[in-house]
Structure 1
Amino acid sequence: MPCTESNHSPKMTAPSNLTPAAPQEQRFLVLFDFDETIICESSDDAVLRALPGQQLPAWLKNSYREGHYNEHMQKVLAYMAEQGVSKDSIHSAVERIPPNAAFLDLFQYLQSNRQDFELVVVSDANMYFIETWLKHARVHHLFRKIFTNPASFDASGRLVLLPFHSHLCSCCPDNMCKQVILRDYLAARQKERGGARFQRVFYIGDGANDICPSLALGPQDTAFPRRDFPMHKLLMEMQQSQSAKFRANIVPWVSGEDIVDCLKKIMEES
C-alpha cells in the first residue's frame, strides 16, 4: 500500500484517566519495530524533507558503509544543522509521517486489552523521532519501554545521535542487535514478574534487522513480517531451506487489521 501524506494528524483518542502503570499479570509481550512498521516510511528519510533541497548531496549519500548506518545518520544530522534546519522543522517533519494502514486501529485494540498485552518498541531509529511521533499520535502511553538509539538536541541546535550499544553479533549493525535486547528484556521482566514468563511473544517488523530477534522466538510465539518486505522475504527463504530452523509462527501483514485478526483468534483460544 503506497504511503500517502494526510492533512489529518495521526492521532488516537486516549481516555484521560489512563496511567502508564501496567498490571503484572499481562500474558503477552508485543514488540514493534518503528520505521516502515508503525509508520509507513523511514523516519530518517522523512526528515530530509526539512532540508532546503529536500535531499542529501551525493558525497554524503555515498559515504554510507554497510553495517554502519548509525554512524552515517550522525553525519546526516550534522549536515542538516549546518544547512540551518531547525529543531521545529525536524519536529514537524516527524509529526507529519502517516501511520501504516490501520495501525491506530491495532493500538486501539491493544489499549482496550491492556490487561493482556505489554508493548515495547525495538527500533534502530532514534529516541527523539520515536517519542515525538508516538506522543503526537497519542499512543506513547501504551508502551512500557522504548529501545532505540539515544538522540537529543545540543546547545547549538544540532540533533546528536549516539549508538544504542555494542555487541558481538555478526549478523546485525554495529550499533544494535535486537536479539540481545529481546533476550535481556525477557530475562529482566521474568525476574520482575516473580519468575512468571509471558505466555506468548509477538514480534512485528519489516526489515532484515528484524530477523535476528525473531530467531529467539519459540513455537508458541509469532513473527509478524510486513508482506513482501525484507523480513518477510528472508523468512520465506529460511522456511524453504532445510538447514534453517525457525520455530515461531509466521503471519505476514499488509495492515494493522491483519495483526488484530490474528491476536483476536489467539485471545479466543487462550
Structure 2
Amino acid sequence: MRDSVFNCCFVPPTPAAVVDDELGRRRNATQPLLRSDCRFLIFFDFDETLVDECSDDAVVVAAPGGSLPGWLKDTYRPARYNEYMQRVLAYLAEQGVSPATIQGVAESLPPCPGIPSLLRFLQSRPPCDFEVVCVSDANTVFIEAWLQKAGFRPLFQRVISNPAHFDEDGRLHMRPFHAHDCQRCPVNMCKAEIVRRYTAQRVQERGGQPFQRVFYVGDGANDFCPSLTLSPRDTAFPRRDFPMHRLIREMEEAKPGELRANVVPWSSGEDVVHTLQKIMEERP
C-alpha cells in the first residue's frame, strides 16, 4: 500500500502530543495546520536546492576514516540509490556512529546561495500567501534536523521524503517513500506523482478552489519530472546549469511546448525572490 503524502513527517525523539487536524488526519501537535486560503503553493527540493550538498554523500564523513569501504561502494546500482543508502546507514551503525553524530552532519550542511534570504522572504509574508512543502529523495531525519537547526521548520507545512527513524540501538532506518510506474525516476520516488497527488488533494480539501499558481524549486534530474506537471500559469525554478535545468533545455529544443510552465533558472535564492515579488504584484 502506498504512503499518503501526508503520512511522511518526522517523528520527534521526544513524543509530542497527537491531535486530529481539520483534515481528519493524525498529526503531531507541533506540525502546522494546513490553511484553506493560501494563494500560492511552492515545493522545494532539499539536496543541492535548500542545502548546497547531497546530504546522503555528506553523511559519509561520519564513517571511520571519512570514507566507505570499496565493497560497499560497489553495491550501488543505478536508480536504486535508496537501497544503497540503507546499506550505508547500516554500516555506519555497525561502526558505532551515533545518532548525534549523524544528526550533527545534517545540521551543519551549508545552505545554497541566497536560500536563507528566500526562506526569510516567505516567512515574512502573510500566512495566506504561501503553502510551503519540501519534496525530497533524502530522508525525513536529515531534512528535519537541518530545518530545525536553521530555524525554518515552522515555514514548511509538510516534509515529504523517504521515512526514516533511529531505532533503540541507534541505527538509522530508512524505507522507500512509495512504489510507482514512472520510467524517468528512481524506483522509490516519483516527485511528479507526489506533486500531482498532493496538489489535487489540497484543491479538493479547499472546496475545489485551486491555487493561483504552483511553483517548484529544484536542481536534480528527479526534479525535472514534477516540472512537467505544472500549468502555463505555474513556474519551474531549475538551479542554473544543474541536471534539472539541462533536461528542461533539452526538452525545449526537442519538443517545443511540451513543458507548459514558465521556466526561471536560479543561481541564488534571491533570483526566486525577485520573480515571486513580480508575480505577487500581478492581478490574480
The normalised TM-score by structure 2 is: 0.86
The aligned residue for residue 218 of structure 1 is 231
Provide the aligned C-alpha RMSD in A.
Answer: 1.4
Percentage of matched positions with identical amino acids? 57
Distance 1:23 1:175 in 2: 29
The aligned residue for residue 246 of structure 1 is 259
Q: Which of 51, 55, 59 is matched with 2:67 structurally?
A: 55
Give the drift of 1:66: 0.6
Amino acid at match of 1:128: V
Distance 1:154 1:97 in 2: 23
Q: Which of 31, 53, 77 is matched with 1:65 structurally?
A: 77
The aligned residue for residue 56 of structure 2 is 44
- The 3-state SS of whatever aligns with 2:184 is coil
Q: Deviations for 1:75-120, whole angstroms, at most 9, x for unmatched residues? A: 0000111111111110111111111111111111111113211100
Give the drift of 1:20: 3.0
The aligned residue for residue 169 of structure 1 is 182
- The 3-state SS of whatever aligns with 2:36 is coil
CA contact under 8 A between 1:40 and 1:99: conserved in structure 2? yes
- Structure 2 alignment gaps of length 5 or more: 1-29
Q: Deviations for 1:29-60, whole angstroms, at most 9, x for unmatched residues? A: 00000000000001111111111211111111
Q: Deviations for 1:206-259, whole angstroms, at most 9, x for unmatched residues? A: 000001111000100000000110001111111111366110011000111000
* Structure 1 segment 11-22 matched on structure 2, within 5 A: 20-22=32-34
Q: Which of 103, 124, 131 is matched with 2:115 structurally?
A: 103
The aligned residue for residue 259 of structure 1 is 272
Q: Which of 144, 157, 169 is matched with 1:156 structurally?
A: 169
Q: Greater shift after overlay, 105-114 or 123-132?
A: 105-114
Q: How many residues align?
A: 253
Q: Which of 74, 81, 96 is matched with 2:86 structurally?
A: 74
- Structure 1 alignment gaps of length 5 or more: 1-17
Q: Which of 71, 93, 97 is matched with 2:105 structurally?
A: 93
Q: Deviations for 1:179-220, whole angstroms, at most 9, x for unmatched residues? A: 111111111101111110011000000000001111000100
Q: Which of 125, 141, 147 is matched with 1:134 structurally?
A: 147
- The 3-state SS of whatever aligns with 2:66 is coil
CA contact under 8 A between 1:167 and 1:176: conserved in structure 2? yes
Distance 2:78 2:128 in 1: 41
Distance 1:252 1:172 in 2: 22
CA contact under 8 A between 2:115 and 2:268: conserved in structure 1? yes
